[in-house]
Chain A
Amino acid sequence: MTIRMHKFCLAALGGLMTTTSLQAADLNALIWCDHADAALLEPFEKAHDVRVNVKEYEGTAAGLTLLDQSRPGDWDVMVIDSVDVARAAEAGYLAPLPADSVDTSTTFPEVALTDAMTVDGQLYGVTEKFGYNTIAYNKAAVDPADMESLGALWSGKYDGRIAIYDYYLPVLGLVGLAEGVDTADLDAAALGTLRDPLMKLRAASRQVSDVVGSQTALATGEVDILIGGGEWLTAVLHAENPDLDWTLPKEGGLVWAQAVAMVEGTEQPELALEFIKYILSPEGQARLATSSCYWGMPANKEAGAVLSDEEKAVLRWDDQAEYLSRAQLYPVPDADTDLAMQDLWTDMLQN
């Protein structure tokens, strides 16, 4: 009995080993959840006869920690906040993209950020998708006119009907906008002035929640307003509840932009580059824009030819010029300010 069990164990462990060993035809991608959609990955896998392994993360700090814990060659490509590309490149996490290998001429210029992603004359990332962190709301329960100002959230009128999206960068950015602080000026000193309004917002809100918690709360009417929300959150619920809407208030909103980049140390740069090219192609862009985890504007304008009119309507394709002119980029805190922001956020959650 023991001997047989022994053999069985060995066989089972052997099975474990082989499934975890990496095959040559694997592309390892450190990604945001929208890239995990099989509808996005499968065409690339078929075309290049590879398997794309994905690992989700949230927040640049967490992503870089994952890279710290890995060995060179573990990762081939990653998705990262466009505004953080230069920082990651300078710290040696990213590999430069070969000159002229990607065409960014059809990217929306406001989010292309090619200069910001260029370090020492070399390009390290390309924006692939963008959208807004602003106010999402239920127009059946909220006066849309009120939503034209961030001040409404502090007015007392909507106390207990607000949810805060659980990500510190955009929400602190929005609180800053409400206080008249541009995201570019959000430093340690400015952060001090945000504590008070943040805590007031907290007191007026019902919960601080991740994507699904926010969706549940909005969809079921537990809350009527989500600060930090946008089309990425309401688009997938559009069919169920057309009353869910979002707007860019007069103070403005935040535009998020995510970039795709090659990880330093990759052993298959050609394949990694092919993946990046696929993601940036009109077809890849259209699939990414309507990916199952969240929707967002494709960075490449040419995706417009592939997306249906209905999809474009949900994405508000035609309003982008106006939105982009009023939105501000994510704050780019230095390491200390970033930690101070996270501390402030933890305080807010715990009180």
Chain B
Amino acid sequence: MRILSWAYLALMFAFILLPVAVLVVFSFQDGRLPVPPFKGPTLEWYAKVLADRDLMAALGNSMLVALASSAVSVLLGFLAAAGFARARLPGSALLRGLIIAPMTVSYLIIGLGLLQAVNWIGLRPSLMATGIGHVVINLPLCFAILAASIGAPQQSALRAARDLGAGERQVLSLVLAPMIAPSLAAAFFLSFTFSWDEFIIAFLLTRFDVTLPVEIWSMLRSGLSPETNAVGALVFLVSVLVVVTLELLLFRKAAK
């Protein structure tokens, strides 16, 4: 049983890590084809990526959309969670259901619907439209996380604050938000991750200023090149660095 467990663990890790390893190794390929045989290391493709104007613009766009849409999602989710914790609303199960609903719908459908609405109103596809779509997909998640983090202790603290004469705004910003700060951070972080990596909504709703996944997709469609590996590897390394840093920070905090 013990040996079996370790063997399984090793096998699964190999399966999970294999494509990333191959991706990274062949980003150093000295040649146009990112497939074996490996012809020896070069940094040529990384230089190309960093000099690629469109790619860097897409990186900035992705960052902007992810930050803005996550901030809006967390804010709306926070307010809604606080609202549902405040009092029993008539039809509250239905209303909760409405907020959660987009979670059960494919991104493709959300994107297609928004595209038609945007055309209908006569707006242009843009990063703004993409950001709106990303809030639609992330709001349910933020709401669920934040609603789950407001339990009985938080509710009685809120009640106490109100009894002591705190205004609603003070209650939310000075009492509730600090109490559930870790959940707020988690919601923001998750939203950011999803928005950062989302393809189909951004693909349907952007025109000239595109996000990183859309730019990578058009790179991929325009020809085989280790440059795609290099972008993928860069995104991966940076993300992992961020994750590990967060992990260490949170870990230290928890250890204290």
Contact = CB atoms under 8 A, between A and B. Distances in A.
A and B touch in the complex (CB under 8 A): yes
Given A9-B71, A16-B65, A33 B221 contact: yes
B75 to A, nearest CB: 5
Interface in B14-56: 31-33, 35, 52-54
B68 A12 contact: yes
B126 interface: yes
Contacts, number: 105
Interface stretch (A49-57, A103-111, A248-256, A309-317): A49-57
A2 B173 contact: yes
A237 interface: yes
Interface in B107-160: 119, 122, 124, 126-128, 131
Chain A: interface size category: 35 or more
A211 B218 CA distance: 11
Contacts of B79: 2
B223 A15 contact: no
A249 B183 CA distance: 66
Contacts of A53: 207-208
B71 A5 contact: yes
A104 B128 CA distance: 42
Contacts of B68: 9, 12-13, 15-16
B222 A33 contact: yes
A71 to B, nearest CB: 7
B35 A219 contact: yes
Contacts of B61: 19
Nearest to B52: A38
Contacts of A240: 31-33
A6 B75 contact: yes
A212 B78 CA distance: 44
Greatest chain A CB density within 10 A among B53, B71, B79, B172 is at B71
Given A5-B71, A17-B128, A20-B127, A211 B64 contact: no
Interface string A70-83: 11001000000000
B202 interface: no
Contact of B64 (A9, A16, A71): A16
B132 to A, nearest CB: 10
Nearest to B227: A292
Contacts of A1: 172-174, 177-178
Interface string A211-245: 11001100110000000000000001101110000
A12 B75 CA distance: 14
B67 interface: yes
A275 interface: no
Nearest to B71: A9
Given A20-B126, A20-B127, A74-B124, A293 B222 contact: yes
A212 B221 contact: yes
Across the A-B interface, the 10 shortest Cβ-Cβ residue pairs: A12-B68, A53-B208, A20-B126, A293-B222, A1-B173, A215-B224, A1-B177, A33-B222, A16-B128, A240-B32
30 contacts: A1-B173, A1-B174, A1-B177, A1-B178, A2-B169, A3-B173, A5-B75, A9-B68, A9-B71, A12-B67, A16-B65, A16-B126, A16-B127, A16-B128, A19-B127, A20-B124, A20-B128, A38-B54, A53-B207, A55-B207, A69-B119, A71-B122, A211-B221, A211-B222, A211-B223, A215-B224, A219-B33, A237-B32, A294-B222, A294-B223
Interface of B: 31-33, 35, 52-54, 61, 64-65, 67-68, 71-72, 74-75, 78-79, 119, 122, 124, 126-128, 131, 169, 172-174, 177-178, 207-209, 218, 220-224
